[in-house]
Each structure stands twice: as structure tokens, then as C-alpha cells.
Amino acid sequence: MTPSASPLTTDLYQLNMVQAYLDRGEDKEAVFEFFVRRLPPRRGFLLAAGLQDALDYLENLRFSEADVAWLAATGRFRSNLLDYLKAFRFTGDVEAMAEGTPCFPDEPLLRVVAPLPQAQLVETRLINILHFQTLIASKAARMVLAAPGKTLADFGLRTAHGAEAGLFSARASYIAGFDGAANVEAGRRYGIPVVGTMAHSFVQVHDDEEQAFENFARARPEGVILLIDTYDVEAGARKVVALAPKLKADGIAIRGVRIDSGDLAASARKVRAILDAGGLKEVIILASGGINEDVLQRMNEVQAPIDGYGIGVNLDASIDAPSLDCAYKLQEYAGRPRRKLSPGKETWPGRKQVWRRYDADGIMCGDMISLAHERQAGEPLLVPVMRAGKRLAPPPPLADIRAQAARALQRLPAPLRRLRQDQPYAVTISEPLRALAADIEAEARGR
């Protein structure tokens, strides 16, 4: 299920460290947690995503003979490492938040408990998967909240950062509530509904725009979306009106039109009026081109007669915040909690749990981060998902993850549903966790 990336999709220092660990037999149980350090500007929450691809990675990570031979040929590694990689199987345990769960800084999204060399080796790719899908799901959730009742589709593959970014964007945005993606491979790989219209080039190869519309409609008789802004959007809409009866006589439906440029709200109003006057009230209007959550909110506020949106690079590259400050940090080794003290990068030590409380209406009203063994009020968000390298349950259908995310988004407090954030969500740290952090800091400073 996961896009196959080479097992050498890792940083050299992971292999160097594993070499050093193997040399000294340093393979006791290590605990790493993945978390985000802070929210990007204007964001009030994140939406966890990427878990199923991360688990696929852990279950299927193997080094082929060719992989190991290439590493051997670099002359950097000794036979103990090369043999270790040849036989590599991830045998650790994983706890994680379900995909589609709203989450906040310092809250672990995933915990790996495994022999140290294993837990270290998987760091780079685990972050690579979880960071990006969480980034995109979080961005997409803002768009979904800003466009109630509208159809949203991921059109961003072309300017996504490579093929896998396009695939992961389609998946993460679908989880967050998008309705589909233009990416055909996303349909095959993940079962995401694949959607598409037509390009300006199709109109341009025809000498006549109406002829272009007719040819495209006859090729897709189940209902097409015609792109009407290549030359003049109102003239394009009138051609659709003129063409519709002729096509209808042949049993061919025009499902909608797309506008990709200009003042979208104003164009949509003019187009809606032309279509309605032409008896095409059921023909929908899609818009694309520079759509982000602010545009969606503005369109919603002015009640632009737009039924759906195709969203490109603003989604796939999360333009306003193209990364999250995140980490996969060692929290415990050989039974002892660990804590990094680098300036500005202190972390909460030990194995942790997140407890979420809801008010009487079922709305989220505060999280607590505790040590894993504590019992606190609320719902524990980290649950066991892998034991000894094997998933505890088959991956849920993507539609189920999406439905779960939709329910979770309905439980967000009202201030977090807005695009601009002024009331941060309350995340508290339990007393035992604070005490442990203070103990470890005192010990390290004294070292």
C-alpha cells in the first residue's frame, strides 16, 4: 500500500550511529516519540495523518542484496552492519494517535519502542511520512472548515514536491474531508475518488471553442466539466447554453463548468445567471486557480455561486506553512528517561500519553500530557497499533479514517474552527511529568 521508497531513503548518520551501536552491542530498549514543537502562524490545531503509511514502512522495511552491496562498496561500513541490514526486520512496538485526530504541540503522535539500532534506523523515513501527511491534512482541514457544503478536490500534483508529495497530499487531504483528487495514482494506490475536468490546451487546439466543448462532451458522455475561461468566460458560458440542447438530444449531459482565472465570485455570478437563464440550473460551477482557505472563506461570505473548488499548490505545498517544526526524540533508553537540553529545544521526557476531555456537548475542552503510566481524566489518544513489528489490526479503509476525521473536526471548539487564531487550546502538563523533567535536568546539569 505504501509508495515504495528505497530503504536507503535515510540520512547517513543513522547508518553511522547504528554501526557504532552494533560495534558495542548497544541494543537495549529505546523509546522515541514523534511530536510537533509548535504550530505554524495562524494555525490553531493540527490533524494527525500518515500513520498507516508509517506502519507499512515499518512492517516492510527490508534491505535487498543490491542495497547492501552498494553500501558495502562505499567502504564506510563493516560486516556487522551489513549483515544486520541483510537480516533486518523491525520488531518493535508502536503506539499512536489515530489518523484524523486533532492534535497540538508537544503531544506525541507516535511512539516507537524497539531495540536502539532499530528505533534509530527508522527515524528519517518515519518523520518524512508523518511530517508531510500531518502538514497537508492540517492545511486541508482549514480549507474544509472554510468551505462548508462545498466540494473540494486536490488538483496539486503538478507542483507538488515530487511524485510522492502528490500522492501523500491526495491521501492527507481526503482524510481531512476533501472529496477527491485529480491524481490518478492516488485513485489506484489509496482508492481515492479521482476527478478531472479539461485543460485550456484542449480548447486551444480547436479553432472553435464550442466545437471543443462538444468534442470533449462526446468523449465523456457520462457528464463533463467544461473549462470556459480560455478566451472570455461569459462567452464561454453562452456557448455551453447553446450546446446543451444538442447534446441532450443525444443523451449527453453537461455536468458543470470550470472557471480558472479572473474575479471568481463576479465571474461565477455572471455565469450562474447565463446558465440559469439558459435552463441549465443543474449545471454546477467549479472554480480553480489560486484557491486557499482565505479565498474559500471570502467566497463563502459573499455567497459566490460556486459549487466546488479545485485546489492546487496552496494545498500540495501548504504554501503559507510548508513545514512543521517537528522531532522524533529519544525519550527513554534502557529503562531511564532522557531529555535534551539544547537551547530552545528542550523536550518532555519519558513515555507519554495525551488525555482529551470533552464538555457536555461533546466539544473538546482541554488536553493533558502525562506520563504513560498515569491515569488522568478524559480519553487517552495514544493507543497500541503495532506489537513486535506486526500491526494489531489491518489498516482501516480510508473512508473510515475520513469519517472519523469528520467527526473529530465537529468536536473542535469554535475558536479553533476559525482561520485566524486568538484563543489557543489548553494543553496542560501533568505534575508527575513536570517533576520528571525537572529531575532529569538537574541531573544532566550536574553531570
Interaction residues for its own copies, span 340-399 (CB under 8 A)? 340-345
The distance of closest approach from Cβ of residue 20 to its own copies in the complex, given in angstroms and rounded to an integer, is 3
**CA–CA gap between residue 354 and residue 138 (Å, rounded):** 19
Strand partners, 110: 34, 96
**CA–CA gap between residue 368 and residue 312 (Å, rounded):** 36
Using the rule CB under 8 A, which residue among 35, 132, 190, 348 binds its own copies? 132
How, if at all, do strands 110-115 and 180-181 pair?
unpaired
Using the rule CB under 8 A, which residue among 195, 299, 304, 371 binds its own copies? 195
Hey, is 330 helix, strand or coil? strand
Among residue numbers 273 through 332, which ones bind its own copies (CB under 8 A)? Answer: 313, 317-319, 322-324, 326, 329-330
The distance of closest approach from Cβ of residue 164 to its own copies in the complex, given in angstroms and rounded to an integer, is 3
41 binds its own copies (CB under 8 A): no
The distance of closest approach from Cβ of residue 128 to its own copies in the complex, given in angstroms and rounded to an integer, is 5
Hey, is 338 helix, strand or coil? coil
Binding part of the chain for its own copies, among 118-126, 248-256, 272-280, 371-379 by CB under 8 A, reads: 118-126
Q: How many CA atoms lie within 13 A of 338 on its CB side?
A: 15
C-alpha cell at 30: 529505546
Among residue numbers 212 through 271, which ones bind its own copies (CB under 8 A)? Answer: 215-216, 218-220, 229-232, 260-262
Nearer to its own copies, 161 or 357 (CB): 161
68 binds its own copies (CB under 8 A): no
Binding part of the chain for its own copies, among 101-109, 125-133, 140-148, 365-373 by CB under 8 A, reads: 125-133
Are the beta carbons of 425 and 104 closer than 8 angstroms? yes
151 binds its own copies (CB under 8 A): no
Task: Give the DSSP H/E element, type plus range, for residue 166.
Answer: helix 163-176
Residue 406 Cα distances to 64, 102, 153, 177, 178, angstroms: 40, 10, 16, 7, 10
Binding part of the chain for its own copies, among 178-186, 274-282, 301-309, 426-434 by CB under 8 A, reads: 178-186
Binding part of the chain for its own copies, among 119-127, 363-371, 376-384, 426-434 by CB under 8 A, reads: 119-127
Q: Would you give the binding string for its own copies spanning residues 416-445, x where CB under 8 A is met? A: ----------------------------xx
Helical packing angle, 264-277 and 233-249, nearest 10°: 30
Q: How many residues bind its own copies (CB under 8 A)?
A: 101
40 binds its own copies (CB under 8 A): no
Using the rule CB under 8 A, which residue among 51, 114, 137, 182 binds its own copies? 182
Nearer to its own copies, 334 or 399 (CB): 334
Are the beta carbons of 251 and 281 closer than 8 angstroms? no
The distance of closest approach from Cβ of residue 423 to its own copies in the complex, given in angstroms and rounded to an integer, is 27
Are the beta carbons of 49 and 175 closer than 8 angstroms? yes
Q: Is 357 exposed, middle or buried (0-12, 13-18, 19+ CB in 10 A)?
A: middle
Are the beta carbons of 102 and 364 closer than 8 angstroms? yes
99 binds its own copies (CB under 8 A): no
Find the farthest-apart pair of alpha carbons in the chain and give their distance in angstroms, rounded: 86
446 binds its own copies (CB under 8 A): no
C-alpha cell at 380: 487517552
Residue type, 282: E
